[in-house]
Structure formats: structure tokens, C-alpha cells
Amino acid sequence: MKKKKKDITIRNGRVVDPGNGIDEVTDLHLSAGKILALGQTPENFQPLLEIDATDQIVCPGLIDLTVNLREPGNEHKATIASETACAARNGITTLCCTPDTLPVIDTPAVVGQIRHKARKAGYCRLLPQGALTKNLDGTHLSEMAALKAAGCIAVTNCYTPLANTLVQRRAMEYASTFNLLTIIRPEDQYLCNNGCAHEGKVADRLGLPGIPEAAETVAVARDLALAETTGAVIHFHALSSASAARTMAWAKREGRKVSADVAIHQLHLTELDLEGFDSNRHVRPPLRTDSDRDGLRKAVAENVIQAICSDHQPHEADAKSSPLPDTEPGISGLDTLLPLTLKLVEQEVMDLSSAIARLTCGPADILGLPLGRLTPGYAADICIYDPNRQWHVSAEQIHSAGKNTPFTGWEMPGRVTHTLLKGRLVFREETL
């Protein structure tokens, strides 16, 4: 028999719900796993639990559009249990995981295995992305209808290139048939040419093979044209250049069915951070110039880029212990997603409501799901954090199995104290 969910009241918090235009100190009432009401206590409502959120921010649970959980196939790096627990500690209630697992997420059986493990862990809502092509081979289209029926919310080929643009067109057409979002990591494989850093003066000085900005902008232009032809709804993941952001602004003005996200580290780091050859700063797409970072920040502030994601890629120590070009790219990002976004508020890049929107209703709208808002009747996914708590990034403070972060030593704002998933406490800070 299912255990009845507690009725809960969260009192005296500053409720910030950008999707509903709310920013005020008030109470929030939860019943049967859903949002019941804001403000005055409903008649005859008697909560079994009250949470005092005085001087804290109460917002919708965060939605991370792109994470690599490493399971199945790379459990020596991380597991579904370890990373969903980490997400809960950091206020994230929904994770969208990439299909580049072993085996690849290209059959309902693999989707079922992953969802079962996530439900068993119980920390997070896990929404798998399905493979665009079978085994990510770039040639043979996957059974998208079956993947959607099994629970996939989108299809993507991650960083594995498609054989040619005709396959890309057919894949978009096929995904569109099933009303599936196509997620694209815009990158021209030939222009990348096995590079590992932004092509420019810094890469030249350090002797690192470069990836030109054009590798991204050419791909964005190509895929926008194909989307126009096919009628597909596409989403660009992890933009890294100001030029691509400007193209997105144009596409949105034209009314194209397109959206985009950016990895949070691209809003703080640049190519100059590679000076020390720190392999934890080896990412794909590469860290680019100051002007690219500023262009991305502007696009996020203006809602041209509607979502900020962690692009979480946990690694074991050995994966980052070789010379930089030989290391595996990627940052362990779940622990720093919210604090680095709050840092953008401190730096006056955007206001708090806009920052929280890029982590809640923004990604929810991209997915077309009734999440990311504190609307009565919606699932009670909630993040409560103390905005006045400062902390320093260290291996001990990183709760992901992957400790590969370039932010070690940085002072971060904001500490999550409670996370609720469907009205159930999945994290409560031990010191409380």
C-alpha cells in the first residue's frame, strides 16, 4: 500500500516563482504531493509538517536539461543513485539524462532500466533523452515512437556526428512526426579537427589544437535551415559563442520553433582560464573569449537563451590526469549550478527572478511540461535555499561522485536547505 504523502506548510519564505510572476514573503501549502495554495491557509487544512523558511528563498525545484549520469556502462565514474542524490542536495528535482550510455538509450528496455533505477533511488524525476540514431551510429534512425512511448522526452545524437546532412534532415522529419523535440549540440566535426581549445591567441601560445568559433556558427545556421525545411522543433544545447547567440536572437525574431541553453561554466570562464593547463577546464565546446562570455550573458539576461544547464559530466581522477589534450572533456556541474547562477545576480548580469526562471520555467517550457512553477495543482517540486550562506568549493563540498570541477576555492553564494519532490522531502540539511 502506498504511503500517504504529508500535508505540508512552508512558512514565511520569500517565494520567487517567475513563471507566475510571484516574488513576495508568504506561505506555501502542499497537499497530496501537489501545490495546494499560496498565502492564507485554506479552510480545514491541517499540515502534518511545517517548514520555517524565514529569510530563505522558496522557488520551484530546478530543472537541469542535460546531465550525463554515466550509468549504465561507466559506473566507475558515477551512478544514477549517486548523481540523483547530489541533485537533490542542490535543489534540482528534474534531470534530463543524455543517451550516450553503454548500452546507448536507443531501446525501450534501456529506458525502462534507467527509469527503474531512478525511481528506486527516489531523489529526482529522471527524464531520459533517446538516441537519434541506433547506437548513436549517425546513420540508422532509432525507433523514436517506441522511445517516446517508453518515456523519452527528446532525441539527440549528443556529440556523435551524423553521417551527412541528409541523415540530419530525415532524423528531424522523423522526430517531428512523433512530436519529439530534437536536441542538437551544434558542432561541425570537420572544423573541430580534433581540437581541444578555442582557436585563438591563447591556444596558439599554449600549443593547444584549436576549435574555431565557426564550428558552432556553421552548424547553427545549417540546422536552422533544416528545421525550417522539415518543420521540426529543435533545441540547441550548450551554445558557446556570441555569434551563435546573435543568430538565435534573429531566429526568435523570425518566429522560428527553436530554443537554446548554455552550460553555466560558459557564463563564468574563458579561454584565459586554460593558462595553467588545468584539465578540469577542458570542456566541449571549448571555453571561448571574453566577448563570447559577455555575449552569452546578454542572451541569457534577455531570454534569447531560455535555460541554463549544468552539462554535468562527472569523471574519475584518471580521466583528468593526462596532458590536457588527452584528457576527457567535461565538468562535474550539479553542485555549482545554482550557486554560479546566483553569482550572475551578484554581478548584476540579471535580476533574481530572471536567474531562477532560467533554471525552472525556462527549461520546463522548452520541454513542454507542467513543471517549474508553483501553480496550484502542479507537482510540489520545491527548492528552499538560504541566500545569505557563503561557502567555498572543495572536494569535500562536492557531493557528485565526480570531483572534476574548475571552481575549487571559489566562494559561492546560497546553500540549499530543503528539497521536495512531489511534496516529499528528498533533502534536508543535517545541521537544521
Beta strands of 32-79 (E only): which ranges? 34-38, 49-52, 57-60, 62-67
Is the per-residue pLDDT at 432 higher than 80?
no
Question: In this predicted structure, what is the pLDDT of residue 159?
Answer: 86
The stretch 58-82 carries a mean pLDDT of 97
Question: In this predicted structure, what is the pLDDT of residue 289?
Answer: 98
Is the per-residue pLDDT at 327 higher than 50?
yes
Is the per-residue pLDDT at 1 higher than 60?
no
Question: In this predicted structure, what is the pLDDT of residue 385?
Answer: 98
Partnered with residue 24 across adjacent β-strands are 15
The residue ranking higher by pLDDT, 338 or 2, is: 338
Q: Are 413 and 82 in contact (CB under 8 A)?
A: no
Is the per-residue pLDDT at 313 higher than 90?
yes
pLDDT digits (tens, 9 = 90+) for 85-95: 999 999 999 99
pLDDT digits (tens, 9 = 90+) for 363-383: 999 999 999 999 999 999 999
Is the per-residue pLDDT at 167 higher than 50?
yes
C-alpha cell at 104: 546507448
Is the per-residue pLDDT at 3 higher than 60?
no
Is the per-residue pLDDT at 420 higher than 50?
yes
Rounded Cα distance, 293 and 291, in Å: 5
> Could you tell me what percent of the chain has a pLDDT over 90?
97
The stretch 79-104 carries a mean pLDDT of 98
Query: Helix, strand, or coil here: 197?
Result: strand
For 333-357, b where at least 16 C-beta lie within 10 A, e where not — what string?
Answer: bbbbbbbbbbbbbeeebbebbbbbb
Q: How confident is the model at residue 6 (pLDDT cuts 50, 70, 90)?
A: confident
Looking at residue 414, its amino acid is: G
Contacts of 75 (CB under 8 A, 6+ apart): none
Question: In this predicted structure, what is the pLDDT of residue 89?
Answer: 98
Looking at residue 116, its amino acid is: H
Contacts of 241 (CB under 8 A, 6+ apart): 213, 216, 217, 285, 288, 292, 295, 296
Q: Of the listed 106, 311, 335, 381, which one is catalytic?
A: 311
The stretch 333-359 carries a mean pLDDT of 98
Q: What is the CATH number of domain 61-374?
A: 3.20.20.140
The stretch 398-405 carries a mean pLDDT of 97
Residue among 261, 274, 404, 407 nearest 331 (CA): 404
Rounded Cα distance, 257 and 254, in Å: 9
First to last CA, the chain: 31
Question: In this predicted structure, what is the pLDDT of residue 431?
Answer: 59
Whether this prediction's pTM lies above 0.75 is answered by: yes
Is the per-residue pLDDT at 183 higher than 50?
yes
For the chain, the C-alpha Rg in angstroms (whole number) is: 21
**H or E element in which residue 364 lies:** helix 361-367
Question: Active site includes 311?
Answer: yes
pLDDT digits (tens, 9 = 90+) for 219-277: 999 999 999 999 999 999 999 999 999 999 999 999 999 999 999 999 999 999 999 99
Beta strands of 18-99 (E only): which ranges? 22-31, 34-38, 49-52, 57-60, 62-67, 92-97
Kindly report the CATH class assigned to 7-58+379-400+408-428. mainly beta
Average pLDDT of the chain is 96
The stretch 59-82 carries a mean pLDDT of 97
Is the per-residue pLDDT at 196 higher than 50?
yes
Q: Where in the chain is the domain with CATH 2.30.40.10?
A: 7-58+379-400+408-428
Give Cα separations from 22 to 353, 369, 375 (angstroms).
9, 20, 10
Is the per-residue pLDDT at 18 higher than 80?
yes
Q: Where in the chain is the domain with CATH 3.20.20.140?
A: 61-374
Give Cα separations from 223 to 136, 177, 232, 247 (angstroms).
18, 17, 10, 12
C-alpha cell at 285: 565546446
H-assigned helices in 178-289 = 189-192, 201-206, 214-230, 242-253
> Could you tell me what percent of the chain has a pLDDT over 70?
99
Question: In this predicted structure, what is the pLDDT of residue 46?
Answer: 93
Question: In this predicted structure, what is the pLDDT of residue 430?
Answer: 80
Is the per-residue pLDDT at 117 higher than 90?
yes
